[in-house]
Structure 1
Amino acid sequence: MELAGLERAFGAYRALDGLDLTVERGEFIALLGPSGCGKSTALNCIAGLLPLTGGAILLDGKPIHELAPEERGFGMVFQSYALFPHMTIRKNVGFGLAMQGVPKAEAEARIDAALDLVRLKSQGDKLPGQLSGGQQQRVAIARAIVIRPPLVLMDEPLSNLDAKLRLEMRAEIRAIHEAIGSTTIYVTHDQDEALSLADRIVVMANGVIRQVGTPEELYERPNHVDVADFMGFRTRILGRVTADGSMVELPGGRLALPAARGLRAGTPVTVSVRPEDFVASKGEARGGDGLTGTVRSIEYRGRAWFGSAALPDGTLVYFRADSTLPQGAPVILAPDPARTLIFEETGR
């Protein structure tokens, strides 16, 4: 499938602004980004639920963006399950087959196979309201795949489940994807979901694609401050390369960072660091050994303490500590230089 210059406007607001993306057959793609970035809009345009205002959608080289949703033959899994409450599980799963006019014997066999795949074969005669949230979502997946679609679209299907169920369902969704061999496009705002499920991740912001890559590429080498933010680099500090080009001047101190080498003196930058790579200790920074901040909050998370501290200009830094630190105490905040990213012009 190819998205070529995809555009979708709502009046003057451009929800999608020229998306270009090629999805390979059998690939699992995650669209990742914050609320309002355009990822669900893109999915609804692919599904045919929203018309384009520009660009094209091609499947096997043929334009499909003017086809009705039912003519595209895609499977869709919604956040809210969207099951028919008055129909049994079997009838819910077989609804698409009935609409396609599939003969009854074949339909029954395909329903059995789909329910078996999602481990719900014994629940076929129940109503949706008699199942748990995780089971209902598996029914929705079975309904999407039973029609043997070339493409399965999933719009944040795990967001209504508790943490334990989300972890279990991740593994099931990936296993189902491998079993049926269909292409999957999966919308999420959860970086862990995207990292664990996808072959490639598409990070979106403000209706455009910021970066496309494998989970490892995006986690280790984000090329934009928005991508870094979604890959766990919570701290974003505005600064400037020093006059001699050897350090970065930041609120609360100076840091010698390898990533700044080669930048011209005076360049405005954004420094991004993950919490686990920003270590806090008692005291005040001296001579470039870190930044001075004030502890705002701290909590214990098993093997370490994690918290936030304010720099002199109010910027929040998210850190790790080996022991608890009192609120309001001055701390030295020292990032791992090798795992600190720098983006010119705040990355925008």
Structure 2
Amino acid sequence: MPTAASPSTRPAPRGATLVMRGLRRDFGSFAALKGLDLTIEPGEFVALLGPSGCGKTTALNCIAGLTALSDGSIMLGERRIDPLPPEARGFGMVFQSYALFPHMTARRNVGFGLAMQKMPRREAEARIEEALKLVRLTAQADKLPGQMSGGQQQRVAIARAIAIRPPVVLMDEPLSNLDAKLRLEMRAEIRRIHETIGSTTIYVTHDQDEALSMADRIVVMRDGLIRQTGTPEELYERPAHADVAEFMGFRTRLKGHVRGTDGKRVTVDTCGIAVGVALRPGMATPQDGEAVTLMIRPEDLVAGPVGLPATVKIGEYRGRAFFGAAEAAGGTELFFRSERAIHAGDRITVAARPEQILLYPEADR
């Protein structure tokens, strides 16, 4: 995760607190947002994270003014902005498709918003140069988008968004069209730019690694609602719900029943074996016989001499270790790590340490 700028080097936050209350957006009989409440402080980098259809892009478009609210309000400081058109909100927007004008050079694309604001030419030129320098594209300023790489085009889109010096920068899955190497590079660049300009950033993504590496705070959404909000560390280590855990990388999901507890550990019967799960601080002790769900990350579920029997379906070498998918009794899918080569059809046993397993009531879906 990129290291945040120190208080002495980070600029003062620009803008005001953004407050959303009861945001609702209906498309006919379908509710894309169902009463979203969220407060974002000046200078924060907040990631809206969730699967397709969870409402994260709809929320971003409502903040931008591209989609009208069915109900609720959006305040920027003391000013209510949801009745305002997009251009009156003064936000910068970076789209998934870049949305650059193909007939304009990078310089003219960056200056488009300033031209719409009728900014004096000398001031606009200074802003354009500043933005191009910030995204490290000064040498490409006179190229057309078609003459630039995908990563360079994305930098132009970011420069255009920040040239107007917005209080809030909105980004809608801006890295999804880039290859893996460029995505890693751009993640660091976006975070660096955020820390340099001091604007609030709201970033939509379905990629947990992007959210974890860049955001100060992550908002996990599902079915038009917020499921959990917290720092990357909180979301990664302590997901509050099974579906949040799944989205944060806990891919194996085992159903079982509590056999007993001893104050420190819960014993759960699942897939024909007994599994020990450590009780975490603040975790309610489940009752004997209670139906529960166990969640485990692939890197923590390890093939070894003892554990849950399964048959390998897929094996992949990923450098230093093998990862695979297997099937246990009843068709339960397992995602695991192995130190030795694995192949489809191999019979294995897998296990995880008690402190690496999360436990949720079966009713938590």
TM > 0.5: yes
CA–CA distance in structure 1, aligned partners of residues 322 and 122 of structure 2: 59
**Equivalent of residue 280 in structure 1, options 303, 325, 330:** 303
Map of 2:98 onto structure 1 = 81
Give RMSD over aligned pairs.
1.4
CA contact (8 A) 2:298 2:335 kept: yes
**Equivalent of residue 158 in structure 1, options 147, 154, 175:** 175
CA–CA distance in structure 1, aligned partners of residues 259 and 78 of structure 2: 52
Q: Is 1:117 matched up with 2:134? A: yes
Map of 1:130 onto structure 2 = 147
Matches within 5 A, 1:321-336: 321-336=338-353
**Equivalent of residue 270 in structure 1, options 271, 290, 293:** 293
CA–CA distance in structure 2, aligned partners of residues 91 and 238 of structure 1: 57
| SS of residue in 1 equivalent to 2:330 | coil
Map of 1:169 onto structure 2 = 186
Deviates more, 1:242-251 or 1:48-57: 242-251
Superimposed CA distance per residue, residues 290-325 of structure 1 (whole angstroms, 9 cap, x where no aligned partner): 222111111111111111111111010101111123
Map of 1:107 onto structure 2 = 124
Matches within 5 A, 1:140-151: 140-151=157-168
Map of 1:72 onto structure 2 = 89
CA–CA distance in structure 2, aligned partners of residues 35 and 194 of structure 1: 15
Map of 1:305 onto structure 2 = 322
1:258–1:130: structure 2 CA closer, same or farther, 3 Å change rule? Answer: same
Q: Is 1:10 matched up with 2:27? A: yes
CA contact (8 A) 1:200 1:215 kept: yes
Matches within 5 A, 1:193-272: 193-242=210-259, 246-259=266-279, 262-272=285-295
Map of 2:112 onto structure 1 = 95
1:169–1:132: structure 2 CA closer, same or farther, 3 Å change rule? Answer: same
Map of 2:12 onto structure 1 = none
CA–CA distance in structure 2, aligned partners of residues 35 and 2 of structure 1: 24
CA contact (8 A) 1:252 1:311 kept: no
CA–CA distance in structure 2, aligned partners of residues 347 and 336 of structure 1: 23
CA–CA distance in structure 1, aligned partners of residues 206 and 343 of structure 2: 33
Task: Return 5+ residue gaps in structure 1 as ranges.
Answer: none
CA contact (8 A) 2:106 2:145 kept: yes
CA–CA distance in structure 1, aligned partners of residues 343 and 169 of structure 2: 50
| SS of residue in 1 equivalent to 2:227 | strand
CA–CA distance in structure 1, aligned partners of residues 160 and 76 of structure 2: 22
CA offset at residue 243 of structure 1? 6.2
Superimposed CA distance per residue, residues 68-109 of structure 1 (whole angstroms, 9 cap, x where no aligned partner): 000000000000000000111111111100111100110011
CA contact (8 A) 1:252 1:292 kept: no
Q: Is 1:34 matched up with 2:51? A: yes
CA–CA distance in structure 2, aligned partners of residues 326 and 83 of structure 1: 46
| SS of residue in 2 equivalent to 1:257 | strand
Task: Return 5+ residue gaps in structure 2 as ranges.
Answer: 1-17
1:207–1:187: structure 2 CA closer, same or farther, 3 Å change rule? Answer: same
CA offset at residue 61 of structure 1? 2.8
Name the count of aligned residue pairs: 342
CA contact (8 A) 2:55 2:222 kept: yes
CA–CA distance in structure 2, aligned partners of residues 346 and 236 of structure 1: 14
CA–CA distance in structure 1, aligned partners of residues 353 and 141 of structure 2: 54
Runs of 4+ residues over 4 Å off in structure 1: 243-246
CA contact (8 A) 1:292 1:330 kept: yes
* Counterpart code for 2:98: Y
CA–CA distance in structure 1, aligned partners of residues 317 and 199 of structure 2: 42
Map of 2:15 onto structure 1 = none
CA–CA distance in structure 1, aligned partners of residues 51 and 272 of structure 2: 30
Q: Is 1:52 matched up with 2:75? A: no
- The alignment-based identity, stated in percent, is 64
CA contact (8 A) 2:47 2:202 kept: yes
CA offset at residue 329 of structure 1? 2.9
| SS of residue in 1 equivalent to 2:171 | strand
Deviates more, 1:88-97 or 1:290-299: 290-299
1:346–1:329: structure 2 CA closer, same or farther, 3 Å change rule? Answer: farther
